[in-house]
Structures are given as C-alpha cells and as structure tokens.
Amino acid sequence: MSFTVAIDGPAAAGKGTIARAVAARFGFAHLDTGLLYRAVGARMLEGADPVAAARGLAPADLARSDLRAADVARAASEVAAIPEVRAALVAFQRGFARQAGGAVLDGRDIGTVICPEAEVKLYVTASPEVRAHRRWLEEGGDAAQVLADVHARDARDTGREDAPLKAAGDAVLIDTTALDIDGAVAAACAHVAARLAGKAAR
C-alpha cells in the first residue's frame, strides 16, 4: 500500500522533527527533501554547475557532513529557485513518495507540486522570531543576523516564480509558535492515523 504524508513549511518551523517522528510512529520511509537542495548547494559552493549537480546527484551527496552549515542552507535556497534544478529533482521525490509501505516527505512544495495527491498534507509554521531563535540555538552566531537570514529565506521561498512556498488548499495547519514538539507531533500523528483508518475502511 502506498500512503504519502506531505509536510511543508518555512525554515525552522519544526517540520523535519515532525516528519521523522511520524515516519517512526507509522513505519514509513522518510525523505528530507531539503537535503537534496542542500547537496546541490554544497556542490555549487565547490564550483559545480547547480543544474549538472542536480542531474547527477548521488546517495553519497546526501550523506555529506556539511549539509547543515549556514552557507550551505543559503546556497540551497538559491539553487531551489532555479527551475532546471527543481525539475531534475522532482522525479526522484515522486518515486520515493509512492513506494510501497508509505512515505513521509518534508519540504516546501510537497503538497502543492511534488505530491498534490498525497493522502495527508500538513503545513507546519511558526513566527519568524521563534524560528530564528530556534536556528540561533542550533547554530549560534549573531541573533539579529539569524533573524535577517530567516526573513530573507522566507522572501526567496515565497517569492520565487517556480513552486513558491505556500500551504496547499487542503493542508492541515500546525502552528508551532506556542506548541512544544510533543504537542505538534501528537497533532500530526492523530491526523495521519485518522486518514489511515479512513483508507482502510474503504
């Protein structure tokens, strides 16, 4: 049985943590689609053409130890705005999503572009200030600059012509601004469980 959970949202909203928890709870495969773009961004920082890097992406690229670095995150947002890069990675994501046994994908256009037919669509968000504080706790640095980076990332992600970040019309909103991770995970899992039960009953 294929069953796809699409989780979208801006940077540092908690969608990755929720996605991993949902995948573990239901025994689904998990793909952090942002790693695809981070891997391409890392290759670009090394001088590679981003389109060529996307088309030639290998599993080893996703296992790099530097994919969480701040400069790689900025590069990922830049390459994600390139239509040819996005096109090169779409087929991989769609194939992963429909594998037998179920899959959870988190990113920025999963419910709107990659898997509009997903059985579950969640949009995880939080205020820019809260997201910046979380990123600062992870990475350190100047707090004001981290907030500026979050605002800049949001502007790029929501303003790009190709697959801008936005909630799918039928997505369930989970706002983690004042919600702890246990509460957010519980809300996500409850929705997934309800949809699984409904599919099994049909």
What H or E segment, with its residue span, contains residue 77? helix 70-80
Contact 94, 115 (CB under 8 A): yes
Task: Identify the helix (H) or strand (E) that includes residue 124.
Answer: strand 120-125
What residues contact residue 191 under an 8 Å CB cut-off, 6+ apart?
120, 122, 172
- Nearest Cα residue to 34 out of 108, 103, 114, 127: 108
Please indicate if the annotation marks 9 as binding a ligand.
yes
Sorted by sequence, the CB contacts under 8 Å of residue 110 that are 6+ apart come out as 6, 7, 8, 33, 93, 97, 118, 121
CA 202/CA 200 separation, integer angstroms: 6
27 is in an annotated binding site: no
The SS3 of residue 72 is helix
Instruction: Confirm or deny that 15 is annotated as ligand binding.
Output: yes
Does the annotation flag 158 for ligand binding? no
Consult the annotation and say whether 112 binds a ligand. Answer: no
Instruction: Please tell me whether 169 is known to bind a ligand.
Output: no
Q: List CB contacts of 186: < 8 A, sequence separation 6 or more.
A: none
d(CA 121, CA 6): 5
Does residue 14 have a known ligand-binding role?
yes
Binding residues for ATP: 9-17
Binding residues: 9-17
